[in-house]
Amino acid sequence: MSTSSLDKLKEKLKNYAYSIGIDKIGFASAKPLENHLVRLMMRRSENYSYTLNEGDPLKRINPALSLPAAKSVICAAVAYDGQEYIPHDNSLGEAGARGRLSLISRGRDYHVVMHERLEKLKLYIMKVFPNAKISIMVDKHDILEKAFAVEAGLGWFGKNTLLVTPEFGSFVYLGELVTDIPFPADAPVNEGCGKCIKCLEACPTGALDKDRNLNPDRCIAGVSQYKGVIHNDLREAMGNTIYGCDICQIACPYNKRAVKDTLKDVSGSIVQSSAEYNDAFPLLTELFRITNSEFKSRFGHTAGAWRGRTVFQRNAIIAAGNQGNACLVPELTKFLKEDSRAVIRGAAAWALGRIGNSEAVSVLKAALLVERDENVLNEIKYSLKVN
């Protein structure tokens, strides 16, 4: 097929993509992105504690190592709801003790949503090219998806290290079709951050730097997904985080612009329904008491469910400590006395220390006499020392 014919097909593909719920689509060459290799190799050598596996750097920059004879990468973006919900009850009573899930982790798992839409796009292409090789990728470490999205003209690398689109800011999730069809590439867009550093200033842990580097050992989004013991100096910065983090995104002017029609003020908006409210800000006590089956039923359809109940509960306990909510001492006491998971007992000890009233201190002193796990004992001793 000639270049002009492929250009016409591109336009048809774009129109079809928009009709099935893909908000942005662009085309990039599948040539290796050699200019990204040095940074990827540097990141691999850093041995971060909290980072998830970032995959093989050579494979990530070269789609042909995943799909032989790859010629093009079709990059898709779907805008997710940038609407922020703020709890109405800010009291320290049990009813006000809520955690927070990041915007992208609410509702149906975006991996599933994007995969379904890319599958439709793939089938549409194969009506024209029945013998084409096409591989679907969604949040995979087999491809450097933000870099290819930049090449495809979807947006630019923001200083928050996310892809920023002119229309939707960074409130988008990405997916790709790698194919052996040689589509003409689209032109990249101009970088739009300029001198703005609002995202860097907003990050509570200094995880971002001016050179667009992210330290995952200090990024709350990554820390909240870690399965082990979270470093003590990061717990306070987690606030009421249960999963993910939007702080750098909410600070971005492009994101504020993207939601201006539905969000009057990032510091407070009206919740559309009680279900949305409870999904966004679940009660800590509900997370404390949730069983595995209840967790799967309530959160199994979300993007964060893969990390499991223990991670959600540990983060809920840290949130309780950060809120200093004395009403939760009995719940935390039960964790410290009865739970079989050391990571949960340790988090409970820390949270009790943060609350620090006489009841919490008495519980910690009693636990010091019976606890046998060294890490939990250290948490108890630390909490008693600060009190």
Determine the length of the chain: 387
| CA–CA distances in Å: residue 116 to residues 18, 71, 137, 154 | 14, 23, 11, 20
Instruction: Kindly name the residue from 23, 139, 339, 373 that is annotated as catalytic.
Output: 139
Residue 91, both tokens: 């009291």
Q: Is 289 helix (H, G, I), strand (E, B) or coil?
A: helix
Quote the CA–CA distance of 222 and 243 in Å, as a whole number: 9
Assess whether pLDDT exceeds 70 at residue 260: no
Amino acid sitting at position 23: D
Q: Helix axis angle, 342-355 relative to 358-368, nearest 10°?
A: 140
Contact by Cβ (8 Å): 220, 306: no
Query: What phi and psi values does residue 29 have, to the nearest 5 degrees?
Result: -70, 150
In the structure, what pLDDT confidence band is assigned to residue 47 with cuts at 50, 70 and 90? confident
Query: What is the rounded distance in angstroms from the CA atom of residue 382 to the CA atom of residue 369?
Result: 15
* 211 counts as catalytic: no
Per-position b or e across 275-292, b if 16+ CB within 10 A of its CB: eebebbbbbbbebbebee
The domain locations on the chain are 3-80+107-179, 304-313+324-387
**What average pLDDT does this structure show over 252-262?**
72
For residues 226 and 238, give the distance between their C-alpha atoms in angstroms, rounded to a whole number: 13
- 195 Cβ contact list (under 8 Å, min separation 6): none
pLDDT tens string 93-148: 455 689 999 999 988 899 999 999 999 999 999 999 999 999 999 988 889 999 99
Backbone φ and ψ of 214, nearest 5°: -120, 130
Q: Tens digits of per-residue pLDDT, 316-359?
A: 999 999 999 999 999 999 999 999 999 999 999 999 999 999 99
Interacting residues of 367 by C-beta distance below 8 A, sequence separation 6+:
336, 337, 349, 380
Q: What is the mean pLDDT of residues 185-202?
A: 96
- In sequence order, what DSSP letters do the residues of 185-254 get, joined into one string? PPPPPPP--TT--HHHHH-TT--B-TTS-B-TTT-HHHHTT-SSPPPHHHHGGGTTEEE---HHHHH-HH
Confidence grade of residue 80 (pLDDT, cut at 50, 70, 90): confident
Rounded-to-integer distance, Cα 114 and Cα 136, Å: 10
What are 376's two structure tokens? 């939990």
Helix (H, G, I), strand (E, B) or coil at 33: coil
For 304-313+324-387, which CATH class? Answer: mainly alpha
Q: d(Cα 9, Cα 2) in Å, to the nearest integer?
A: 11
Check if the beta carbon of residue 268 is closer than 8 Å to that of residue 304.
no
Distance CA 111, CA 141 (A): 13
Gyration radius (Cα) of the chain, Å? 23
